[in-house]
Structure 1
Amino acid sequence: MRTILITGPGGSGRTTVAAATALAAARAGTRTLLLGADRDDTLGAALGTPTGPEPARVEDRLTVWRPDPAQGFRDDLAALQDRASTALDLLGAARLDPEELTPLPGAEELSLLRALRDAALTDAHDLLVVDLPPAPRALALLALPEELRRCLRRLLPPERQAARALRPVLGRLAGVPLPAESLYETAARWDLELAAAEAVLTDRGTAVRLVAEPGPSGADAVRTAALGLALRGLPVELLIANRVLPEDAPADSWLAGPVAQQRKTAEEWQESYEVHRVPHLGRDPRGTDDLAALTAPGVNPTARPVEWPVTDRLAEAGVLVWHLPLPGAVRDGLDLVRRGDELVVTAGRFRRIVPLPSALRRCTVEGAALREGELRVRFAPDPALWPRSR
C-alpha cells in the first residue's frame, strides 16, 4: 500500500489539501483511506460531512477515519490494569475507572501511530493519505517509534531477556528482585507494535508532501521541515504551494505585490523540489465540489528513498566516507558525537541517534564537512579492530 504523509506549517491548509488529494485519488479509481490526526473535525469541515472514530465511507472508494485518542488511552490503561491485577491487589491499590481518565500528553501521537499500523495490516485500501499535525508536531511524531524502541532496548536489552528462565535462581543469588516476566512481555509487545508503525514510515512506498503558502514565512517553514525530514531519512515527494493567487491580477491592484512575492518563492522552491500549485478559490473550501476545484496532485510516486551511502576511499585517501543528505543545514547548527556504535547527529533544533553501518563500527571518526547540503563524515579504519590484509 502506498502512503502519503501530508504536513506543513500551521494554517497552511494541509488538511484541505489532504482531503482534496484523497478525493482525487478515489475518483480516479484508487481505494483510498484518509486518516486524520486532529482532535477537532477539520477533515469533516473540509469534506462537508462529519468524521469520527469509526471509519466512514464518504464516496465510492473513499473512507475517512479520525481515531479517538481518549478512547485508545482508556482501553490501554484498562488492559494495563488487568495485566498488573496481582500486583495492584497486593498493594491494596484502587483501580482507576477508565471513564474518569483524560488522555495524557502523547496520547494523540500514539493513537495515530497505532492507526497507521492497523491501516497497513489490512488490504482494504491501495492508498493511505495521512493528514499529519503541523510540521513541528509531525516531526516529533515521526521520530517517536524509533526513539521509543531505542529506549526500550536500552532499558531491557533483548540479549538479557534470555535469562528470564533463570530469574528465581538469579534473584536468590543476587539478593535483589529481578524484573517480572510481565515486564519483558509488555516491552516485547510494545517493541513489536512500534516496529510495525516504523515499518510504515520507512517503507519505500511512503513519502511526505509539504504544504505551505509561498512567501517568506512559508519558505522558512519549508526549510526547517525539510531538514527535520531529511535527518529522519524521509523523502519530500512534492512541495504543494497552496492558495496561489491568480497571475492576471492588475498591475495597479493591491494584489500585485503578494502575487510577485508568491511567484518569487515558488520559483526558488522549484530549484530544489517538484512544486505543485493549488489555486486560491477566494474562499475557504467546503465540500467535495470545492475540493475537486483545487486540482490536487496525483499519487504517482516521484520521490526516491533517501539513502545514506558509505563510499570507499581507502585506496586514495585511507578513509570511508558516510554521506548524510541534510538540505538546508548550516555549519554552525551541526554537531556530531560518536558514542559507541552510534552517531549522535544534531542539525539545527533536530537530533537523531543513528546506528553506525557495520563497516564504520571498526573505524574512528577523522572529520566531517558540509558540502552542497550533504554532510560527509570521514572514518579511518582502527588498526586494533580492522581486519588485516594478507
Structure 2
Amino acid sequence: MTGVRTLLVTGAGGAGRTCVAAATAAAAARAGTHTLLLTAASGAVLDPLLPPAGQETAGTTATGLPQPYSVDGVDGLYVARTDPAAAYRAGALDLQDRIGSLLGMLGAAPLDPEELTELPGAGALAVLRALREARGPQAAWDLVVVDLPPAAEAVRLLALPEQLRRYLRRLLPADRQAARALRPVLAQLAGVPMPAEWAFEAAARADAELGAVQTVIDDPATAAAVVVAPDATAEAVLRSARTGLALFGHRLAGVVANRVLPTGSADPFLAGLSGHQQDVLKLIADQCATDGVPLYERAHLGRPPQGVEEGLAVPVDVPGPQAPAPHRPPEPWTVEDRLGADGHFLWSLPLPGAGREGLDLVRRGDELVVDAGGFRRIVPLPSALRRCAVAGAALRDGALSVRFTPDPDLWPR
C-alpha cells in the first residue's frame, strides 16, 4: 500500500455531502496535497470542474473509472466521476470473455456491449472499483476524497467486500479448491459434483479484487466524515452512522453540520429556525464529544453553492499510514483473557450510538452474528473462542461486551 490517504464523505441525504467533499478536496490541493475527488454526483458544485458533457468519457479505464481531469485554477486537484453503466459493461464483458468456452459449449450467443444495461447495485460496485484503482500501486495521489451515498447506504457499501468474500468462501471452500485435481475421481467414485476450473479461477480473481478494495477500506490511513444538516433528522442520522461505522471498524474523523443559519436575526421566523438549529447542534456536539471527534460548522449561503470556491472547507485529519490514528475505535473482535481472574474471555466491540432496541447477538457455529442499528456483521471466532460457549453479553458506555466460558467437552484439561 502506498502512502495515499483516503477520506470517505457520507451523511444525511440532501445535506450537502458533495459540496463538503469538493470543498475539502480543493482546500487540500491548495495546501500542496495532490488530491483526487472521486464522485458519482453532478450539479452546480461539480459541473464547473468537469469537461463538457460527452468529453469526460474519453480515456475511460478498464474498470469504468473516467480518466481523472485536472481542475482549472486549483493546482493539484483532479476530479473523476464514476460511470456505473461503463463499469458494468466492462465487468460483464470481461466475465463473458473469461467463460467464453463455457458459453460456446452451451450454444449461447455472446452479448454485444450495446445490449448491456446496468443492474441495480451497479453504481455501488463502480464506486468500489474506482476506489481500488485510485489507491492502487500506481496511485499518483496523496489524498483521495470519496463522495459516498447517504450514511446507511455507505456503511453497507463499505461492508460489501467483506460480505462477498465470505459468500465466495462458503460457495467454494478451501477444501474443495484443494481437491480440484481429484475432481474426476470424486465424480466417478462418489458422484460428488465439483465446479469447473473456470469457477475456481473466477472465484480466486474475484476474491483478490475484493481483497484489494477491503485493504483500502481497512487501511489506518482511511477515515470517514459524516455530513448532516442541523434539522430534526440530524441526531438520528448521526447516531446510526456512528453505530454502523464502528461495527465495521471504520474511524470517524469528523462531523460536519452544514447550512447553519446565523444567530441573532431580527426576523422572528429566521430567529425561530436558528434557535431550533442551535438546539440540534448541541445534541450533535454531545455525540461528537462522546466519540472525541471534532464538529465543523458550515454557514448557510442562502442559495446553492457555485463550485468549490464557496463555503468552508473541512480540515478533517486523515493520518498517514505510519502515523497513529487519533480517536480510532479499539480494534473490533479483540479478546481479553480473564480466565485466571474471572474464568472467562471478554470480547468487546465499540458500538457508539447503539441502543438495546435492535441489538442482537447470535452464535452460529464458529461465527458470531451481530445486529446493531439496522446493520449486521458476521465474523469468524478466534480459535480459542470456538471452544467456548457464550455466557452473557451487556451493552455499557457505547460498547458491547460478550463473555465466553470454556466448554468442558472441548477445552483441554
The equivalent position to 2:314 in structure 1, one of 296, 303, 306, is 296
- For residue 193 of structure 1, what is the amino acid of its counterpart? E
Q: Are 1:64 and 2:82 matched, yes or no?
A: no
Following the alignment from structure 1 to structure 2, what is the Cα–Cα distance between the partners of residues 199 and 177?
Answer: 34
Equivalences, count: 384
SS in 1 for 2:384: helix
SS in 1 for 2:139: coil
Cα shift at 1:305:
4.4
Pairwise mapping of residues 222-301 of structure 1 onto structure 2 (< 5 A)?
222-250=238-266, 252-273=267-288, 274-290=294-310, 293-301=311-319
Residues 11 and 337 from structure 1, CA distance in 2 versus in 1: closer, same or farther, beyond 3 angstroms?
Answer: same
Q: Are 1:3 and 2:6 matched, yes or no?
A: yes
Cα shift at 1:358:
3.1
CA deviation profile, 1:190-223 (whole Å, cap 9, x unmatched): 0000001011111111111000011321111111
- Residues 266 and 275 of structure 1 are in contact (CA less than 8 Å); yes or no, is this contact kept in structure 2? no
SS in 1 for 2:296: strand
CA deviation profile, 1:149-169 (whole Å, cap 9, x unmatched): 000000001232111122222
Cα shift at 1:297:
2.1
- Residues 5 and 318 of structure 2 are in contact (CA less than 8 Å); yes or no, is this contact kept in structure 1? no
- For residue 226 of structure 2, what is the amino acid of its counterpart? L
Cα shift at 1:42:
6.5
Following the alignment from structure 1 to structure 2, what is the Cα–Cα distance between the partners of residues 166 and 220?
Answer: 55
Residues 73 and 295 from structure 1, CA distance in 2 versus in 1: closer, same or farther, beyond 3 angstroms?
Answer: closer
Cα shift at 1:48:
7.3
- Residues 19 and 47 of structure 1 are in contact (CA less than 8 Å); yes or no, is this contact kept in structure 2? no
The equivalent position to 1:37 in structure 2, one of 29, 40, 64, is 40
Question: 1:13 matched to which residue of 2?
Answer: 16
CA deviation profile, 1:284-341 (whole Å, cap 9, x unmatched): 1112321xx4243244544324423322322332111111111122213111110111
Unaligned ranges ≥5, structure 1: none
The equivalent position to 1:97 in structure 2, one of 112, 117, 120, is 112
Residues 100 and 300 from structure 1, CA distance in 2 versus in 1: closer, same or farther, beyond 3 angstroms?
Answer: closer
Cα shift at 1:47:
4.4
Cα shift at 1:249:
2.2
Following the alignment from structure 1 to structure 2, what is the Cα–Cα distance between the partners of residues 318 and 383?
Answer: 12
Q: Are 1:344 and 2:369 matched, yes or no?
A: yes
- Residues 45 and 307 of structure 2 are in contact (CA less than 8 Å); yes or no, is this contact kept in structure 1? no
SS in 2 for 1:26: helix
Please say which of residues 8-17 and 268-277 is displaced more in the overlay. 268-277
- For residue 245 of structure 1, what is the amino acid of its counterpart? L
Following the alignment from structure 1 to structure 2, what is the Cα–Cα distance between the partners of residues 111 and 49?
Answer: 20
Following the alignment from structure 1 to structure 2, what is the Cα–Cα distance between the partners of residues 323 and 260?
Answer: 39
- Residues 323 and 374 of structure 1 are in contact (CA less than 8 Å); yes or no, is this contact kept in structure 2? yes
Question: 1:86 matched to which residue of 2?
Answer: 101
- Give the TM-score, by structure 2 length: 0.88
The equivalent position to 1:186 in structure 2, one of 202, 210, 217, is 202
Following the alignment from structure 2 to structure 1, what is the Cα–Cα distance between the partners of residues 265 and 370?
Answer: 46
Unaligned ranges ≥5, structure 2: 58-65, 289-293, 320-325
Question: 2:168 matched to which residue of 1?
Answer: 152
Question: 2:212 matched to which residue of 1?
Answer: 196
- Aligned identity (percent) is 57
Question: 1:382 matched to which residue of 2?
Answer: 407
Counting helix residues as a fraction of each chain, which structure ranks higher?
A: 1
- For residue 4 of structure 1, what is the amino acid of its counterpart? L
Residues 43 and 364 from structure 1, CA distance in 2 versus in 1: closer, same or farther, beyond 3 angstroms?
Answer: farther
- Residues 29 and 77 of structure 2 are in contact (CA less than 8 Å); yes or no, is this contact kept in structure 1? yes
- Give the TM-score, by structure 1 length: 0.93
Following the alignment from structure 1 to structure 2, what is the Cα–Cα distance between the partners of residues 238 and 184?
Answer: 42
The equivalent position to 1:106 in structure 2, one of 93, 108, 121, is 121
- Residues 156 and 184 of structure 1 are in contact (CA less than 8 Å); yes or no, is this contact kept in structure 2? yes
- For residue 93 of structure 1, what is the amino acid of its counterpart? A
Q: Are 1:169 and 2:189 matched, yes or no?
A: no
Structure 1 stretches (4+) deviating beyond 4 angstroms? Answer: 40-43, 46-52
Cα shift at 1:9:
1.2
Cα shift at 1:269:
2.1
- Residues 242 and 353 of structure 2 are in contact (CA less than 8 Å); yes or no, is this contact kept in structure 1? yes
CA deviation profile, 1:91-126 (whole Å, cap 9, x unmatched): 221211111111011211111111111111133101
- For residue 205 of structure 1, what is the amino acid of its counterpart? A
CA deviation profile, 1:326-370 (whole Å, cap 9, x unmatched): 112221311111011110111132111122233322211001111
- For residue 355 of structure 1, what is the amino acid of its counterpart? P
- Residues 24 and 298 of structure 1 are in contact (CA less than 8 Å); yes or no, is this contact kept in structure 2? no
SS in 2 for 1:377: strand
Residues 305 and 367 from structure 1, CA distance in 2 versus in 1: closer, same or farther, beyond 3 angstroms?
Answer: closer
Question: 1:321 matched to which residue of 2?
Answer: 346
